[in-house]
Structure 1
Amino acid sequence: MLAALGIENGHQLSVEKVDPRPPGPHDVVVRVGASGVCHTDVAVLTGQLPIPLPLVLGHEGAGVVLEVGSEVTSLTVGDRVIGSVGAVCGSCWYCTHELTHLCASSQALTAVPSVTRADGTPVPAFVGLGSFAETMTVHEASVVRVSTDLPDDQLALIGCAITTGLGAVFNTAKVTPGASVAVIGCGGVGQAVVQGARLAGAARIIAVDTGASKRAAALGFGATDTIDPAVADTEDEVRGLTGGRGADFTFEVVGSPATISQAWALARRGGTVTLVGMPAADAMITMPAFPLASDDKRLCGSLYGGTQARRDIPMIVELAETGRLDLSSMVTRRVPLDQVNDAIRALEAGEQIRSVVV
């Protein structure tokens, strides 16, 4: 089969023929119908996230189960599934305390060989998935069964961008009806935050991005206002839209120290600042200590949006089926697997909301 492998930091993915790993007792083989191209994949490829290569990249995927291992109990051949960035073993301390996005088994699954290259080198898959491939052999804990007629290119986005964005709104920040929200960074995850804020009943949703097309898209997804930080003073603009206070909830969806500091500055006293973007492993932020205490703000990390995959993914599918959540407009480009590097280039250039490998 074909798969796209990260071989060396700073180089393009290598699309090559590989041999998939036969399924073990708790594994399933999934025919990948679609896989979104996410900034986190790029961060691994560039070395921003120091994860050893080679690696089958791709983690935002959906498809159909082709084969199941001898001890698999949760899935059968023909099931439609969405990959979960966080595995859900169901028995570790985190899973039993409703923190399945922190499941203790996730890191171990990343180290398991997924495919074998032509030279005999075994290669693991990113977060135990590796959806930039024609098929993926994964532990049953890494996928969630769904019953729906939605197309794979839309379902794939639920694997990461949508769950991360909506989860940040509902699970982490807990946005309240009538609130004011500012979203810094309006790529795929940022647009999902905008949609989540709309679903939560936020009265004012301010989308902040230098890209004109992304600001326009945000208005379509529910933003009430947009700001181009390249031409306007973002803090002044947000305060002007929120009675001089600042936003009740701010979301940083870029992953840079500068925008993290900006998200803090845009929040009102007593507001909530949620960090959604993935910064470089060595990035540092500095903050004055007195306002950290005296302004009574809440600073929250939001890994995978705090998603409880087996609970949240079926709910998100239903939101899309009933038209409350717009997935189709999130997919702005579809490419075959052998053009995945062009999709990554376009992502880095900010040319689209989400490319999907189909």
Structure 2
Amino acid sequence: MRAAVLREPGSPLQVENVELDDPHAGEVRVRVEAAGVCHTELHYMSGDIPCPLPIVLGHEGCGIVEEIGAGVDAVAVGDRVAFTWRPRCGFCEFCITGRPVMCIYGRVQARSGGLMDGTSRLRRGTEQLHHFLGVSCFAEQAVVSQRAVVRVPDDVPPAVAAVAGCAVITGLGAVVNVAGQVAGSPLLVIGAGGVGLSAVMGATLVGADPVVVVDVAADKLALARQLGATHTVDASALDAAGVVAAVQDLTGGGAEVAVDAVGAPQTLRQAFSALRPGGTAIAVGLASVDATAAVPINELVQQQKRLVGSLYGSANPPVDLPRILSLYSSGRLPLDALLGGRHSLDEVGEAYRALGSGATGRAVVIPTEVTAG
């Protein structure tokens, strides 16, 4: 099969012919229909976050189950499924205490470049290739744990299901699972990429008001307004203090909740500074492994502000993802508007160049399509 391989940090992705072993017990083989172009890969592609190499990238996707290993009972051949890059084993400390997004097997997969047993199903001849976050869906097929897939209803398009499995559950989950009761309260989102826009949809869904979005791109701010933002702030024309002042003015003294969907030290500080006393800043975006952000201690204490992290929307994917897809099917989550460009597997490098240049909407790769000519 064909797959997009990263061999060295800073080098372009190479679409290569690779071998995919049959699924082991508890695993499934999926024909990939769509894979989302997520900013997370850029951190690994640049070397800001290390990973085992060479590796087949892609962690946000959807496809059809074509083969199941022994003992698989979660899905059947022919099911459409969305990938989840944090498995839920069901028996580790985090799973049994209601924090499945922190399942110990997520770390096993990330560090080993393998599946839940730490071994890979990917190779090229005698060369072992690694899985990315237990998925690797920038490929025509993927073998994953049955704990890393969730069934998708037939009426949900593959591209929508793909982005729902990462961008949407991350951004919407940060609001629904972490922010608490925000109906009628001001909510700020910094960054109008796929995750930030999903947070906007989550804020609209739960009745936050006003919903303020900050970004440097006019087209992204326009899309944010389409998806429910009541106010937008163009940060390209303001310094950090100006952004905070604008948000405070629009929210009557500061946001009750601020979601940083960028993951830069300056945006996290802006999110914290833009809070009203007692407010909560939620860090969602990733940065390089050595990135830090300074928080003023007295402001933290005297104004009783909170700063919390949220991985993967602090979600329970087998429960939360079906709910998200049901809301889409009922017309309450306009996920189609979130989609951006459509690319073949051969164009995956182009898709990431566009993302790095600020492309609007969540682009998707369709692995079975080929470049014309």
Task: Tell me which interval the TM-score lies in, with the shorter structure as reference length.
Answer: over 0.9
User: 1:259, CA displacement in angstroms?
Assistant: 0.6
Matches within 5 A, 1:88-237: 88-110=88-110, 111=112, 112=114, 113-118=120-125, 120-232=126-238, 233-237=242-246
* Residue aligning to 1:49: 49
Q: Which residue identity is paired with 1:229?
A: A
Question: CA shift at 1:174, angstroms?
Answer: 2.0
C-alpha distance in 2 between matches for 1:329 and 1:259: 25
SS of the counterpart of 1:208?
A: strand
4+ residue stretches of structure 1 with deviation over 3 A?
none
Deviates more, 1:258-267 or 1:45-54: 45-54
Residue 356 (1) aligns with residue 346 (2): no
| Counterpart code for 1:254 | V
Question: Comparing 265-274 with 285-294, which one deviates more in the overlay?
Answer: 285-294
SS in 1 for 2:104: coil
How many angstroms does 1:175 deviate by?
Answer: 4.5
Provide the secondary structure at the position in 2 that maps to 1:160.
helix
Matched to 1:294, the amino acid is: Q
Structure 2: how far apart are the matches of 1:172 and 1:19?
A: 41
CA distance in 2, matches of 1:225, 1:339: 35
Asked if structure 2 preserves the Cα contact closer than 8 Å seen for 1:148 and 1:317, the reply is no
SS in 2 for 1:128: coil
Q: Deviation per CA, 1:151-179: give whole Å up to 9, x if none.
A: 10110001100000011001111252101
SS state at 2:129 partner: strand
Q: Distance in 1 between matches of 2:263 and 2:365?
A: 24
What CA distance in whole angstroms lies between the structure 1 residues aligned with 2:27 and 2:274? 46
TM-score of the pair, normalised by structure 1:
0.97
Could you tell me how far 1:107 is from its partner in structure 2?
Answer: 2.3
- The one-letter code sitting in structure 1 at the alignment partner of 2:317 is A
CA deviation map 1:105-144 (0-9, x unaligned): 12223422131124x2111211100010000001111111
What does residue 299 of structure 1 align with? 307
Q: Tell me, which stretches of 5 or more residues in structure 1 are unaligned?
A: none
For 1:48, the aligned partner's letter is: D
The residue matched to 1:176 in structure 2 has which SS?
coil
Report the 3-state secondary structure (helix = DSSP H, G, I; strand = E; otherwise coil) of the residue aligned with 2:108.
helix
1:169–1:175 Cα contact (<8 Å) kept: no
Equivalent-residue separation in structure 2 for 1:147 and 1:203 (angstroms): 32
1:283 equivalent to 2:297? Answer no
SS where residue 94 of structure 1 aligns?
helix
Q: 1:95 Cα shift? A: 0.8
Aligned to 1:127, the other structure's residue is in SS state coil
1:331 maps onto 2:321 in alignment: no
Q: Give SS of 1:283's match.
A: coil
Displacement of 1:146 in angstroms is: 2.5
CA shift at 1:228, angstroms? Answer: 0.8
| C-alpha deviation, 1:97, in angstroms | 1.0
For the residues of structure 2 that align with 1:353 and 1:4, how far apart are their CA atoms? 22
Percent identity of equivalent pairs:
41
Higher mean alpha-carbon deviation, 25-34 vs 288-297, is at 288-297
Aligned residues: 356
Between the aligned partners of 1:256 and 1:99, the Cα distance in structure 2 is 26
2:82 maps to what in 1?
Answer: 82
Equivalent-residue separation in structure 2 for 1:226 and 1:242 (angstroms) = 12
DSSP 3-state at the match of 2:195: helix
